[in-house]
Amino acid sequence: MATYNGTDLRVFLEGDLIAGEGECSISFSQDPREVNNKDSGRWQEYEEGMLGAEVSVSGMVIYPALGNITTLYDQLVASGTVTLVFGINDNGSVDTTEVRYSGEFVCTGIEDSGANRETRAFNATFISSGTVSRLPAAS
């Protein structure tokens, strides 16, 4: 069984790696709907609801021109969706021999921060806008 450390996981924004990324995560959720009625008694009842996903990235701000933070800022103010792929890095592109997730996302926030004598850092969060597909590993 193949295992990977966190170094291999990356987020690709419109096909390009988000530069300087130090951490990334993807989480999936379902918002169940209540279907309580008079026959439910004291117990709540739920059925499946809307699905969603969130991708978070953080890392070092890259010089020159602060390429990653300005790219993320541009996506935030553009108010549109972007294609994100969450998968394994293979020399700067997504490794299609491994399972990966892809979908349209909206940038919901970015943060640029730095403390005295520490590396300047960024955080960005994206939420899904539609289906997030699990793409199978190519053979």
Closest CA to 28 of 11, 57, 52: 52
What integer pLDDT is reported at residue 12 of this predicted model? Answer: 82
- The rounded distance, in Å, linking the Cα atoms of 72 and 11 is 12
Low-confidence ranges of the chain (pLDDT < 50): 1
CA–CA separation, 6 and 49 (whole Å): 31
pLDDT for 32-58, tens place per residue? 999 998 888 888 999 999 999 999 988
Domain 7-33+46-135 belongs in CATH node 2.30.110.20: yes
The domain locations on the chain are 7-33+46-135
pLDDT of residue 95: 80
What is the 8-class DSSP label of residue 15?
T
Q: Are 12 and 41 in contact (CB under 8 A)?
A: no
CB atoms within 10 A of CB 114: 12
Q: List the beta strands (DSSP E) in 1-139.
A: 9-13, 16-17, 21-34, 46-60, 81-90, 93-94, 100-113, 121-135
The pLDDT assigned to 63 comes to 59
Taking the C-alpha atoms of residue 105 and residue 131, their distance in angstroms, rounded to an integer, is: 10
